[in-house]
Structure 1
Amino acid sequence: MTLHAHAQQLDPRTLRDAFGAFPSGVVAVAASVKGQLAGIAASSFTSVSIDPPLVSFSISTTSSTWPLLREADRLGISVLADHHDAVCRQLAGPREERFAGLPFRVTDGGAVLLDEAVATYDCSVHEEVVAGDHVIVLLEVHEVGGGDGEHPLVFHRSAFAKLHRDDLDPARLDGRINGAEVDRGAEKTVAGHSADEDAA
């Protein structure tokens, strides 16, 4: 009760600005449902689990597109590339124009995947959790792939940005993140193959 009362006192604009301080990628969530293309852009995408393979994104409870998308057998997740700022805006526009002129493919299960994405995921809905004014959608990953994009689009402080690594240490992270070991790079070889050749 106390936490809820404190949360109600937060200024929405201040809270939104604080959320926006955390940079994220942007994905297209899309499918062909009953012969109709449907899709949205989401900046809340995140990996969740390796075993089983799960990812997630959040969608507003007021979304008029999610009720249609959730009926799809498979959902496509496409990580937008750094030249996709206009694509992101298009996916937030009128529903009938969201895929106009975009190169994409539709899988047998109905997942829509953008050709120029950095990475793609063919998923199905695993679970939905209502959380305040949003729904957290857990997706089971069935297939992953890549596209023609090289670097991801970044969303930060309500604006688009690109990755710049010129001033960063190029060495791979050596340690733990999210409580698990991270890829340490090709320091070791196994049967003639570098350690990261078979990494997901």
Structure 2
Amino acid sequence: MTTPHLTTLDQRTLRSAFGAFPSGVVAVAASVKGQLTGLAASSFTSISIEPPLVSFSVSTSSATWPLLREAHHLGISVLADHHDDICRQLAGPREQRFDGLPFSVTEGGAVLLTEAVATFDVTVHEEVEAGDHMIVLLRIHQVGAGDGEHPLVFHKSGFAKLHRDDLDPTRLDGRINGAEVESGPAPHKGDADAA
């Protein structure tokens, strides 16, 4: 049995190691005082069913988050696998982030992208400073299933798509994160090829 090769900790090595873990990508967006504001985040995760909470992390040096956090409601859109260009746009110059993008704005000001895999209308529940990032806990008020079928994947600083060609397509029967996985219908046979 071989031991994993470990190296001295530095920022470049740590970023590379973090990048080895694939994640989804979301748009966090709102209309704040009549101005569209948003950012792309690859740190989105589910936290709790009761109460309904999700989270994402944002750099403490972000110039967008101080503006965005002033919104009454925020929109979280899980980007679909054809949204790589949208993600690049949301990561670009602030004044051009929503140019030509298809979206809707809720009464509370949450901005939700169309064709997302899922959407959430949320408010800030709590912020926790954690090193050079802020962990933002968000309370879910409404959730929607989007038109997109498969999520965009962020891996090693680039984009990828899911595929399950050689995996067992049946749902997990057991526990993950210490909780039972809710059983449901297995994906359609065609989904296994496209996912």
Asked if these proteins are the same fold (TM beyond 0.5), I'd say: yes
Alpha-carbon distance in structure 2 between the residues aligned to 1:186 and 1:26: 25
Q: In structure 2, what is the Cα distance between the partners aligned to 1:51 and 1:127?
A: 15
Question: What is the alpha-carbon distance in structure 1 between the residues aligned to residue 150 and residue 162 of structure 2?
Answer: 7
Structure-2 residue corresponding to 1:69: 68
Aligned position for 2:29: 30
Aligned partner of 2:134 in structure 1 is 135
| Separation of aligned partners in 2, 1:72 and 1:185 | 36
In structure 2, what residue type is equivalent to 1:69? L
**Shift >6 Å, 4+ stretches:** none
SS in 1 for 2:164: coil
The alignment partner of 2:85 has SS state of helix
Counterparts of 1:1-200 in structure 2, within 5 Å, are 10-186=9-185
Q: How far does residue 147 in structure 1 lie from its aligned partner after superposition?
A: 1.8
Q: For 1:19 and 1:102, locate their aligned partners in 2 and report how far apart those are by CA, in whole Å.
A: 30
TM-score (norm 2): 0.90
1 CA distance for matches of 2:185 and 2:116? Answer: 26
User: Quick one: distance in 2 between partners of 1:178 and 1:39?
Assistant: 30
SS in 1 for 2:183: coil
Deviation of 1:184 after TM superposition, in Å, equals: 2.2
1:40-82 residue CA offsets vs partner (Å, 9 max, x unmatched): 0000000000000000000000000000000001000000000
Question: Structure 2 CA distance, aligned partners of 1:64 and 1:93?
Answer: 12
**Residue matched to 2:192:** none
Q: Which residue of 1 aligns with 2:4?
A: none
Sequence identity (%): 80
Two-structure CA RMSD over aligned residues (Å):
1.1
Provide the rounded CA distance (Å) in 1 between the counterparts of 2:184 and 2:53.
24
For 1:170 and 1:27, locate their aligned partners in 2 and report how far apart those are by CA, in whole Å.
25
Q: Distance in 1 between matches of 2:106 and 2:10?
A: 44
What letter corresponds to residue 32 of structure 1 in structure 2? S
Report the secondary structure of 2:162's partner residue. Answer: coil
Size of the alignment, in residue pairs? 179
With the length of structure 1 as denominator, give the TM-score of the two structures. 0.88
The Cα offsets for residues 128-165 of structure 1, whole Å up to 9 and x where unpaired, read as: 00000000000000000022111000000111000011
- How big is the shift at 1:186? 4.2
